[in-house]
Amino acid sequence: MGAISSLLVLSWRNIWRNKRRTAITIASIAFAVFFATILGSIQKGAWDNTVDNVVKFFHGYLQVHKEGYSEDRTINKAFPLTEELLQAGSMDGIDGTAPRLESFALASYKQYTKGALVIGTDPTNEDKMTDLKNRLVEGQYFDKSRDEAMIGEGLAKYLNMGVGDTLVLIGQGYHGANAAGKYPIVGLLKFGSPELNKRMVYLPLSTAQYLYSADGLVTSLALIPSSREVAERLEPGLKSKLSEIGYEVEGWQDMIPELVQVRELDTIGAIVITMILYAIIAFGIFGTILMMTAERRYEFGVLVSIGMRRWKLALMVWMEIIFLALIGVLIGFLLSYPVVLYLHHYPITFTGEAAAAFEKFGTEPIMPASLSLSVFVRQVLVVFLVTAVLACYPIININRLKVVEAMRS
């Protein structure tokens, strides 16, 4: 036994002097960690899922536009795919690019007409990026070599048309040119968001370029990152690099600011709940610490009398508290991990009104738990911060201890 390791042994044995109190304290820490971890995992998982859904299925994580497009989304800001842009798409962490030409048009069939959002895109890349094929509910996926269209299920219903019917698109093309065309419907798509369902029209890129008299032009170039984390890492560099040559880069947070805001609010809510939980637990731990210090005054007095330096004594008590926290955190994790794992693989699924709320954001009505280490790490940090602060009490107490008074029983 060295001097410090003997303190460790002492601390460890000391916490088992009052087994019942120790068990209660550990249990309360474990409960807080258990609860907070599950809450945090579901919360993070649900939002990751929502963001992934919304962003991945529709916007892509990174989009390049002509400068000013984000303020004024018009086809007149279309641009050619230059070498420089395509180079950006071949950098590390970017798996590919998906050029799109987007604009508005009136969609009509027989006597029905509705405003539509037309997306001209490369069928293969689009599927790679947004899993578009998975949204097909009827008919078949469009082919880039044919002038054909896929439309949202809701739009088809509104226009009272189906696969095999011919859709008419009328609108304004590049720099005021006339835009009109007829396209057979080959497939119907289903979007979680009713809004998208009623508005989306997909054409092969070249077909759309012809329709809008924008030969060789696109309104956006989506970069396909290997993951969201990669996208977030590359974003600042791309932004500054491409802005020099007249382009703007939008990250996913720029594209859906409302969602980002709601997520922040929700996250703050969860943090507040967790903080309240930890505050309650902290009072419990403090109670234990108070009793532990009060009932051992005489003992502390003996130890300082025989020549134990106060900092050693304080270190011993501090380690006792850290031991309690450590065991509590460990048990909390061991209990919560299976639950989190289960909820990751079998997410909570919503039905009815709640499901509708999810669908409004264009996402599936499920809340899968996140397995992200950051949730666990945050709990560890919070517990240690709380206990470290609480542990100041006995440290101060020991430093102020007057030996003679402590030992006068």
Partner 1 sequence: MSVVIETKALEKIYSESKFPVHALRGVDLQVHKGEFTAIVGPSGSGKTTLLNIIGGLDRPTKGRISVGGVDIAHLSDNELIEFRQKNIGFVFQSYNLIPVLTAKENVEFIMLLQNRSKEERIRRTESLLNRVGLGDRMDNRPGEMSGGQQQRVAVARALASSPQFILADEPTANLDSKTAGSLLDMMLEMNREEGTTFVFSTHDSRVIRRARRVITLVDGLIDSDEIREQ
Task: Look up residue 406 and give its amino acid.
Answer: A
Near partner 1 in 316-335, by CB under 8 A: none
Query: According to the binding rule CB under 8 A, does residue 20 interact with partner 1?
Result: no
Query: According to the binding rule CB under 8 A, does residue 229 interact with partner 1?
Result: no
CB 215 within 8 A of CB 209: yes
Region from 3-11, 173-181, 216-224, 335-343 binding partner 1, contact rule CB under 8 A: 3-11
CB 212 within 8 A of CB 201: no
Query: According to the binding rule CB under 8 A, does residue 304 interact with partner 1?
Result: yes
Strands (E), 313-381: 348-349, 366-367
Q: Which runs of consecutive H residues, i.e. helices, occur in 189-256?
A: 194-197, 205-211, 228-243, 252-255
∠ Cα 183 187 191 (to 5°): 115
Q: Between 383 and 401, name the residue whose CB sits nearer to partner 1.
A: 401
- Give least dist CB 286 to partner 1, A: 23
Query: According to the binding rule CB under 8 A, does residue 299 interact with partner 1?
Result: yes
**Residue of the chain from 21, 241, 310, 344 that contacts partner 1 (CB under 8 A):** 310
**Residue of the chain from 145, 243, 261, 305 that contacts partner 1 (CB under 8 A):** 305
Query: According to the binding rule CB under 8 A, does residue 306 interact with partner 1?
Result: yes
Phi first, then psi: what are they for 202, rounded to 5°? -110, 130
- Give least dist CB 381 to partner 1, A: 31
Region from 47-55, 118-126, 257-265, 308-316 binding partner 1, contact rule CB under 8 A: 308-316
Q: Between 66 and 296, name the residue whose CB sits nearer to partner 1.
A: 296
CA–CA gap between residue 142 and residue 192 (Å, rounded): 20
SS3 content of the chain, % helix, strand, coil (to 5): 60, 20, 20
Near partner 1 in 387-406, by CB under 8 A: 403-404
Query: According to the binding rule CB under 8 A, does residue 302 interact with partner 1?
Result: yes
What is the sign, positive or negative, of the torsion defined by CA atoms of 362, 364, 366, 368? negative
**Chain residues in the site for partner 1 (CB under 8 A):** 1-3, 6, 10, 13-14, 16-17, 298-299, 302-310, 312, 403-404, 407
